[in-house]
Amino acid sequence: MSQEVKEIKPVVEISEQAAHELILYLEKQGKPGAGLRVFVSAGGCSGLSYGMVPEDKSSEDDYVIVQHGAKLIVDKSSMPFIAGSVIDFQSDKLMGGGFVVKNPNAVSTCGCGESFKTA
């Protein structure tokens, strides 16, 4: 009798395009083995804001997600605010583009899209 193998969805995901852009960015920064630390901090127009920085190390309290060859690192205190989110990459001809968080937990966001509020 064979057992059904169930694929577990990561708590935070990264799109294939964002993973590709992240890998290129980290290589240009001279940090090919690093990941992208995604965190939430108090501040911004709506109360909470996203932060993202290249990170070489993770702690045992971090969630480390590897998808499409790219690594995301999320600290324990940020996870409740961004669980279920997808990190994507948005190309913008005028502004240059960048990484964006598509967060199902955000009930409202500010006009710039960099801060949000949860229920």
Which pairs from 74-79 meet CB under 8 Å and 24+ separation?
74/11, 74/12, 74/37, 74/38, 74/39, 75/37, 75/39, 77/40, 78/38, 78/39, 78/40, 79/11, 79/12
Looking at residue 56, its pLDDT comes to: 93
What's the pTM value of the predicted model, to 2 decimals? 0.80
Q: List Cβ neighbours of 77 (8 Å cut-off, separation of 6 or more).
A: 40
Q: What does the pLDDT look like over 46-103, one tens digit per residue?
A: 678 888 999 999 999 999 999 999 999 999 999 988 999 999 998 876 666 788 888 8
Q: What does the pLDDT look like over 8-31, one tens digit per residue?
A: 567 899 999 999 999 999 999 999
Has residue 1 got a pLDDT over 70?
no
Q: CA 84 to CA 68: how far, in whole Å?
A: 17
Looking at residue 92, its pLDDT comes to: 73
Looking at residue 98, its pLDDT comes to: 87
Looking at residue 50, its pLDDT comes to: 85
Which domains are delineated in the chain? Answer: 13-118 (2.60.300.12)
Has residue 109 got a pLDDT over 70?
no
Q: List Cβ neighbours of 3 (8 Å cut-off, separation of 6 or more).
A: none
Extended strands (E) in the chain: 13-14, 35-42, 48-55, 63-67, 70-74, 86-90, 98-102, 106-109, 115-118
